[in-house]
Amino acid sequence: MPTGEEWLLLVMSSLFSFVAARNTVLRRERRQQQRQVSYELRGIELERKLYQDEYERKARRADEQWAMIQQQANRIYDLNQQVFKLTIELGAAKQIHRNLN
């Protein structure tokens, strides 16, 4: 039959073995969680990159469309100026025609 010291030694070695095993399990779980978090973070970063690229593409497209709108507005302004000048010339031509008749 084991003595008190032997029992104490047996209990202590069992306790140390349990703690060591538990620490191993906890480290393994922590590494698994870290891998999972890293995986999720890579996914989130990829998604953010996709949204960033889409935003930049849409911003470039909006800038291009705005430039086209400005060009069209300038063209319309120029055409309106031409119409105005032609209207004045037409009025003058009508006046000359009336004066000749």
Tens digit of pLDDT at every position of the chain (101 positions):
778 888 888 889 999 999 999 999 999 999 999 999 999 999 999 999 999 999 999 999 999 999 999 999 999 999 999 999 999 999 999 999 999 87
Query: Residue 3: left if φ>0, alpha if ψ -120 to 50, beta else—which one?
Result: beta
What are the angstrom distances between the C-alpha of 77 and each of 51, 67, 84, 89, 94? 38, 15, 10, 18, 25
What is each CA distance from 51 to 14, 37, 48, 93, in whole angstroms? Answer: 55, 21, 5, 62
- Does the pTM exceed 0.85? no
Long-range contacts of 60-69 (CB under 8 A, 24+ apart): none
DSSP, res 101: -
Q: Which two tokens stand for residue 16?
A: 């140390």
